[in-house]
Structure 1
Amino acid sequence: MSGGAQHEKREKDEAVARLARLDACAVSDALDSLGLPGAALGLTALSAPRRIAGRAVTVELVEPSAEAAGSGRHLGTAAVDAAGPGDVIVVAHAGRTHVAGWGGVLSSGARRNGVEGVVVHGACRDVDEARELDLPLYATTGVPVTARGRVVERAWNVPVDIAGVPVAPGDLVIADASGVVLVPAARAEEVLAKAEAITTKERAMVERVRAGHPMADVMSADYETMLDR
């Protein structure tokens, strides 16, 4: 690996480490203050409900047709084989809830490779297996219906849409009990710095609460200006 490539990798790893010290709400607030979309609404933790942070490895699923015959491989397999620690597999399943866009064998592969977690915009299945594997899985819902003959992988590691939020390979992903938030890589430094500042303000507010200040004073003085620069 060249010196330039090593420097870029260190910068990426540091961005993920900074993201992991935040929460989804602070990152969402930071994006909001910058006028950027980010919160992927309707997705929730179905297994191992702990915070995850990493870079997106994307998968795009479509319904089979003459125009979209698919890649010819089983959906998600290329992404699983390519992903590892520091990565979050993000499946663009177009919000479908009548058919799974992820399943148990894929979860086993993701867990084996040390993937941080999986985000599916739509339904997934074999949720019990993901729980047994302790693999964080964020999706719209669980469903037992197989993908066979119903959806195929059009491509992987391409720009996709997740609940109305554009996601490109390498974008930052954070998810916790409050939901899933996506950060464009090109704005990562700006968003992270803003989210860190918001987190510092929130901690100061909590300290004032613990010190006995009236809630009305704490919230009135700080909440509405939380996102101000």
Structure 2
Amino acid sequence: MSDLAAPAEYLALGASALSDAMDRLGINGSCFGIAPLSPAFTLAGFARTVRYVPCGVVKGTVGDFIDDYDETTVAVLDNSGRLDCTVWGDILTDYAVRNRLAGTVIDGVCRDTALCREQNYPVFSRGAYMRTGKDRVQAQEIDGPVSIGGVRVEPGDLVVGDADGVVVVPAARATEVFDVATEIVAREDEIRSAVRAGSKLMAARIKFGYHHLQTRADS
């Protein structure tokens, strides 16, 4: 097993390879329906979490949760997949850029997206919608477990996003996932090299075990 790699090294492997590795290891880590606002956006860092719920009769706050976040932090916001009100906008983007946050992932929508693209600040979400979450949702829990695209996220889990989507690597299994993903990338590189050298695709795939790269070890 390797020592724990830096977030950038996980990002270099790519979300697809990490997803494949977690499939082999039986880990649910691929966040369904969460996509970058720009295909050029990437992020990698450690989760800090906020869980939102609908407001009651007494309105709660949307949460001033971001003051102690830094360049290793991915803000992970669980708004239960709601598409009718946002939990991220231009003020938060300005603050995140100034403090060099790694990025933001939302199970829900954001707004003021032109600023995200202009500032090259990576936001991954279910889309964009202009209506505010104020007086509609409130921050119920900060730094607790949340759900993003059907994946449980704990504070400190590794979050990686690229043009293909977002994966969450549980902190306790991060080294294991990295090792398996590295193997998968190497095998696929060998297949590509063989095909470029004139091999038939089927032969290259059989030679390098392509059809079993994602198969669960206990299958």
**TM > 0.5 between the two?**
yes
- The 5 Å alignment of 1:184-195 reads 184-195=170-181
1:133 matched residue in structure 2: 119
Q: Deviation per CA, 1:42-92: give whole Å up to 9, x if none.
A: 0111136332111101111110126x964x4x43x32x2121112211111
- The 5 Å alignment of 1:153-172 reads 153-172=139-158
Matched, 1:200 2:186: yes
Q: Tell me if the contact between 2:41 and 2:121 (Cα under 8 Å) persists in the aligned partners.
A: no
In 2 relative to 1, CA 69–186 (structure 1 residues): closer, same or farther, beyond 3 Å? farther
Farther off after superposition, 112-121 or 201-210 = 201-210
Instruction: Find the partner of 1:43 among 34, 43, 62.
Output: 34
Farther off after superposition, 123-132 or 211-220 = 211-220
- The 5 Å alignment of 1:6-45 reads 14-45=5-36
For residues 110 and 129 of structure 1, the distance between their equivalents in structure 2, rounded to whole angstroms, comes to: 12
* Number of aligned positions between the proteins: 213
Q: Tell me if the contact between 2:59 and 2:135 (Cα under 8 Å) persists in the aligned partners.
A: no
1:142 matched residue in structure 2: 128
For residues 176 and 48 of structure 1, the distance between their equivalents in structure 2, rounded to whole angstroms, comes to: 7
In 2 relative to 1, CA 24–197 (structure 1 residues): closer, same or farther, beyond 3 Å? same
Q: Tell me if the contact between 2:34 and 2:124 (Cα under 8 Å) persists in the aligned partners.
A: yes
Matched, 1:224 2:215: no
Higher relative contact order (CA 8 A, sep 6+): 2
For residues 20 and 178 of structure 1, the distance between their equivalents in structure 2, rounded to whole angstroms, comes to: 12
**Structure 2: any 5+ residue segments left out of the alignment?**
none
Q: Tell me if the contact between 1:48 and 1:135 (Cα under 8 Å) persists in the aligned partners.
A: no
2:169 matched residue in structure 1: 183
What percentage of residue pairs aligned between the two structures are identical? 36
Give how far 1:220 is off: 4.2
- The 5 Å alignment of 1:106-117 reads 106-117=92-103
Provide the secondary structure at the position in 2 that maps to 1:40: coil
Q: Tell me if the contact between 2:86 and 2:133 (Cα under 8 Å) persists in the aligned partners.
A: yes
For residues 20 and 44 of structure 1, the distance between their equivalents in structure 2, rounded to whole angstroms, comes to: 15
Provide the secondary structure at the position in 1 that maps to 2:124: strand
**Structure 1: any 5+ residue segments left out of the alignment?**
1-10
TM-score (ref. length: structure 2): 0.90
Letter in 1 for 2:106: V
Letter in 2 for 1:144: M
Farther off after superposition, 109-118 or 205-214 = 205-214
Q: Tell me if the contact between 2:41 and 2:120 (Cα under 8 Å) persists in the aligned partners.
A: no
Give how far 1:219 is off: 3.1
For residues 17 and 130 of structure 1, the distance between their equivalents in structure 2, rounded to whole angstroms, comes to: 21
For residues 104 and 177 of structure 1, the distance between their equivalents in structure 2, rounded to whole angstroms, comes to: 22
1:215 matched residue in structure 2: 201
For residues 101 and 146 of structure 1, the distance between their equivalents in structure 2, rounded to whole angstroms, comes to: 7
RMSD: 1.9
